[in-house]
Amino acid sequence: MAASWLPDLRAGSVFVSPTSIVAGAGASRQAGDLVRGRLRAPEGTVLVVADDVVLNSELADPALESLVTAGYRTEIIHGLGSEPNSEVIDRAAGTSRGAGALAVVGIGGGSVLDSAKLLALLLRNPGSVAQWVGAVEPQAGVAPLLLMPTTCGTGSEATRIAMVTVDGAKRASSCASFIPDTVVIDQNLVASLPSGVVASTGMDALAHAAESLMSTARSPMSAHHALRAIELLTGNLELATRGDSDSLASCLWASHLAGQALNAGVVLGHSLAYCLAYECPMPHGTACALVLPYCIAYNAGLDDGLARALALSLTSGSSASLRAAAATVKDLTARIGLPTTLDEAGVAPGTEESLAERCVTEYPRPTNPEPLHVGRLTALARAMRSGDLDTAFAAGRQCSASRSVPK
């Protein structure tokens, strides 16, 4: 008999993931061999899209040296910033096209890996990045991709999504070909991460796992990956922020598993996170951490089996209550030094209604189990102001009640 939290096993589903995952301490030293053997790129130029901090700290050196040893020329794209916009990507695309690169290697956090995906698309296709937002199927495909994450959070190396800021707003480009040929999971690349980065990106991964489990587009595989990612993160994230190497490695794996689960789609939490960042710029993972308990509250009407599985995973088995799960997430967020309320995050008072309206109009989530409603989201945002989970769950119960009323 199937577990009660699994989607209907008779229904059709598609689970996508990288072709190969090469893991282990020092695995980035295999970059050259992987580009030749897995990506099948002949001799020529490889585009390396890298985070400035990773370059300056020499973390990228083993991969770069491996590429040169394998006979490749490297064109390095850096200076992308923490949130690349369309102008930055288009300038980099001009350089990339001029270099005649055959393949793309991305080394960095989520924004860098997203940029690598977009540049792999623009290498083979005309136009600017703004012309490639939404669901796209580029006629010429994308250049072969090798991605190496250097944070414990985004899971971008496993997803079909690339985010870019266009005209001041976060926009997503969704393309099945963004899922790379090869991923390298090298714990050496996260060994020296500052605790604040571990905290923020780790909570981003936790949000990916929890939200993908709530998604109406989840599959049996995405659900399995999500639950395993939650287990690894709740058991290791706090220690990882203190520099424990084994816990950091576990969080890196959890981030990747959550990234694979993320292909089922995220839900309300990420919409709220984008809207928070619009009102008050903050790291994406920090925004995701703040809103996750309230996302759980809004979706409190989940199927009983799914709700129980989600709650037990988030509370490490101590409670089957979503209310307790939301409180557990909020407490973890506070313990690792991230804000848990709009006031703590510095979001200006009086923005609750505009935040709710932006959420519904600009970032609708058809995969969210509850419809997004401005009035209920405004009430939810007001609960987020002071951290009132009881009021947040009242808004969630209102959603569930309205869904059960015959039309």
pLDDT digits (tens, 9 = 90+) for 101-113: 999 999 999 999 9
High-pLDDT (> 70) share of the chain, %? 97
pLDDT at position 154: 86
pLDDT for 380 equals 96
| Phi (first) and psi of residue 78, to 5 degrees | -145, -170
Helices 284-298, 389-404: axis angle to 10 degrees equals: 50
pLDDT tens per residue, range 336-357: 999 999 999 999 999 999 999 9
Q: How confident is the model at residue 406, as a pLDDT?
A: 47
Which residues have a Cβ under 8 Å from the Cβ of 127 and sit 6 or more positions away?
Answer: none
| Number of residues in the chain | 407
Instruction: Compute the distance between CA of residue 122 and CA of residue 138 in angstroms, rounded to an integer.
Output: 9
Distance CA 163, CA 166 (A): 10
Model confidence pLDDT, tens digit, residues 6-17: 777 777 788 888
Question: Among 160-169, 284-293, 369-378, 380-389, which stretch is predicted with the lowest mean pLDDT?
Answer: 160-169
* Distance from chain centroid for Cα 16: 15
CA dist., res. 84 & res. 114, Å (int): 9
CA–CA separation, 290 vs 292, rounded Å? 6
Token output for 222? 């995405």
The rounded mean pLDDT for the chain is 93
In angstroms, the Cα distances linking 257 to 34, 185, 209 are 21, 11, 8
> Residue 336 CA to chain centroid, in angstroms?
19
pLDDT of residue 404: 57
Cβ atoms of 149 and 255 within 8 Å: the answer is yes
Name residue 64's amino acid.
L
Instruction: Evaluate whether 233 touches 184 at the Cβ level (below 8 Å).
Output: no
Of the CA atoms within 13 Å of residue 148, those in its CB half-sphere come to: 33
Q: For residue 241, what pLDDT is reported?
A: 97
Domains along the sequence of the chain with CATH = 20-190 (3.40.50.1970), 195-404 (1.20.1090.10)
C-alpha pair distances (Å), 152 with each of 26, 142, 200, 253: 16, 26, 9, 8
Which tokens in the block code for residue 277? 């960042």
Q: How many angstroms separate the CA atoms of 231 and 254, rounded? A: 8
Q: Which residues contact 25 (CB under 8 A, 6 or more apart)?
A: 186, 187, 188
Across the chain, which distance is largest between two alpha carbons, in Å?
Answer: 67
Six-digit token pair at 7? 């989607």
Q: What is the pLDDT of residues 302-338, one digit of tens each?
A: 999 999 999 999 999 999 999 999 999 999 999 999 9
Which residue stretches of 215-351 are H helix? 220-241, 245-261, 268-279, 284-298, 304-314, 322-335, 342-345
* End-to-end CA gap in the chain: 34
The string of pLDDT tens digits covering residues 233-255 is: 999 999 999 999 999 999 999 99
The C-alpha atoms of residue 201 and residue 205 are separated, in whole angstroms, by: 6
167-210, pLDDT tens digit by residue?
A: 888 899 999 999 999 999 999 999 999 999 999 999 999 999 99
Give the per-residue pLDDT at 25.
95
> What is the pairing mode between strands 20-23 and 182-185?
parallel
Model confidence at 4: pLDDT above 80:
no
Question: Cα–Cα distance between 272 and 289 in angstroms, integer?
Answer: 11
407 — pLDDT class (breaks 50, 70, 90): very low
Q: Above pLDDT 90, what percent of the chain?
A: 86
| Sign of the dihedral defined by the CA atoms of residues 227, 380, 241, 105, in that order | positive
Which 3 state secondary structure label does DSSP give 146?
Answer: strand
181 in Cβ contact with 220 (< 8 Å): no
Distance separating alpha carbons of residues 145 and 106, to the nearest angstrom: 8
